[in-house]
Amino acid sequence: MSTSASRSRESLASGLSRVLGDKVVSEVQILKLYSRDASTESGVLPVSLVFAESVEDVRAALRFALDNGLKLIAVGSSTSLAGNSVPKAEDTLILSMERMSKILEISEIDWVARVQPGIRVDELNYELARHGLQWPVDPASSKSATVGGVIADGGGGTKGAKYGSSPYWISALEVVTGTGDVLRLGCRTVKCREGYDLLHLFIGSEGTLGIVTEATLRLAPLPEAFVGVMAEFDGMGQLVSSVVEARRRRLWPMVTEFLDSETSEALGLKGKYHLWAGTDVNAGSEEGVLSKLSGAVTDAGGRIVAVARNMADFMTAMAPRRALYSGGLNVGFNMYGTDALVFWEDIAVPISELPAAVEELLKLGNDFGIKLLLGGHIGDGNLHPGLLVRRTAPEDEVKKYMSLIEKIGELAIRHGGTVSAEHGIGVQKKGLISMKYRSTGSEAALEAMRSVKRIFDPHNVLNPGKVLP
């Protein structure tokens, strides 16, 4: 960085401190931490970091950015996997929502919770459990993922097989747009139709349209009872067949998660394909449902290795699945040492297409000669292929990686699915979203999205360069 640029950075940081005081941090080592997220994408050093504590702080930081020609990226825990929160321009402020982490209200009658965006998903659900309730959006990173981050990415998670992803479970939002306006969208009620559905424009917009400062979340009661199994399979095809068979038998699991054999072994399990399937039940029906669920597994060639008769025991048994990310890194380090990089993809296909899609996916990895790990939320068709690559790979090898990623996207589209189920678009999937809309002859949808961006963020100050190709 040149001396003049350094002085300019110091001057901006000093000016921001005059506005927001000790909520501003400019130490280089701390800024480096906020220049990355959990993806493989690298970022640049931001100008400063602001720890917002109120909607007024958010608006003040935004005004400063607008007045000084800066960009602004709001972040939670930066667990996103598509480069969603990585700063790409040096004239960027990072706005951390971590300190806005209060639960403002829990209603045991309306089944809603009003929260600030910085509260972590697990922290929220621990408190809700005291009231017999849950926010059933459960990303694998729930210990660290914030509610605001889940909303920004339109995230899903391990309970998606029954409850789907976050958009349904968000009733209302307070957001600050790129013009500094504060919008309160949605309703506390179950039914709400007040003009255009602006609420859902902001869910999954990755902070490019506005910054969430408060959310009203729809809740569900905790299960009366719960049963589940952990099973192992010799082949991926058998595991997929068990999921399809469960649906044929009209079972509706709350959780249906899996790991491939190599990742399983890296996480201390046997080197087999592992499935976790669990469902909420009425008290008194546990054994009957458990028998039906076990039958779907064993009839497909699986072996039951653990049985859970309550949710706590099931979630304990499922701990290895939540470690998919670190398990993939272990496999990568064993192959390439510290040169290893794992690129996690995020596609989904209809359940009926799973057998063919998984078979093609595994064949793609073999055809390209690239190690492909596999895990994810198989109960809702959401697959997370993990590409093991080298950081220092030569250009021709990098092109091969990128070609495989494109082929994985084409596979999802061909089977009637999506190139992004829950991780969002960020930086890394802009090419894939273009491909998706071209494949349906709907390129005009992208221009419509650009028009929406111009309305809510006319100065392109909020998380620029993300989502839209």
Torsion, CA 14, CA 15, CA 21, CA 27, rounded to 10? -30
Given CATH 3.30.70.2190, say whether it is the number of domain 225-322: yes
Q: Are 379 and 389 in contact (CB under 8 A)?
A: no
Distance, CA of 364 to CA of 410 (rounded, Å): 11
Q: Around Cβ 418, how many Cβ atoms within 10 Å?
A: 18
> Left (φ > 0), alpha (ψ -120 to 50) or beta: where does 164 sit?
left
Q: Tell me what pLDDT residue 159 has.
A: 96
pTM for the model stands at 0.93
- E-only strand ranges, 351-393: 372-377, 382-390
Q: Estimate to the nearest angstrom the gap between the alpha carbon of 142 and the chain centroid.
A: 10
Q: Are 359 and 237 in contact (CB under 8 A)?
A: yes
Q: Residue 257: phi, psi to the nearest 5?
A: -120, 160
β-pairing verdict for 24-25 and 372-377? unpaired
Q: What is the pLDDT along the chain (469 residues), one digit of tens a residue?
A: 444 455 588 899 999 999 999 999 999 999 999 999 988 888 999 999 999 999 999 999 999 999 999 999 999 999 888 899 999 998 999 999 999 999 999 999 999 999 999 999 999 999 999 999 999 999 989 999 999 999 999 999 999 999 999 999 999 999 999 999 999 999 999 999 999 999 999 999 999 999 999 999 999 999 999 999 999 999 999 999 999 999 999 999 999 999 999 999 999 999 999 999 999 999 999 999 999 999 999 999 999 999 999 999 999 999 999 999 889 999 999 999 999 989 899 999 999 999 999 999 999 999 999 999 999 999 999 999 999 989 899 988 889 999 999 999 999 999 999 999 999 999 999 999 999 999 999 999 999 999 999 999 999 999 999 999 9
Examine domains 225-322 and 324-430 and report if their fold is the same. yes
Q: Are 420 and 382 in contact (CB under 8 A)?
A: no
CATH numeric code, 3-96: 3.30.43.10
Distance, CA of 245 to CA of 253 (rounded, Å): 12
Q: Fold for 324-430, please state it.
A: Alpha-Beta Plaits (3.30.70)
CA distances to 196, 276, 304, 458 from 294, rounded to whole Å, are: 46, 11, 7, 55
Distance, CA of 344 to CA of 82 (rounded, Å): 9
Q: Are 409 and 436 in contact (CB under 8 A)?
A: yes
Q: CATH class for domain 103-221? A: alpha beta
Distance, CA of 133 to CA of 307 (rounded, Å): 24
The 3-state DSSP class for residue 267 equals: coil
Domain segments of the chain: what residues?
A: 3-96, 103-221, 225-322, 324-430
Distance, CA of 216 to CA of 171 (rounded, Å): 5
Sheet-wide strand order for 71-75: 24-25, 48-51, 92-96, 71-75
Tokens of 443: 């390129």
CA distances to 173, 181, 460 from 455, rounded to whole Å, are: 18, 12, 10
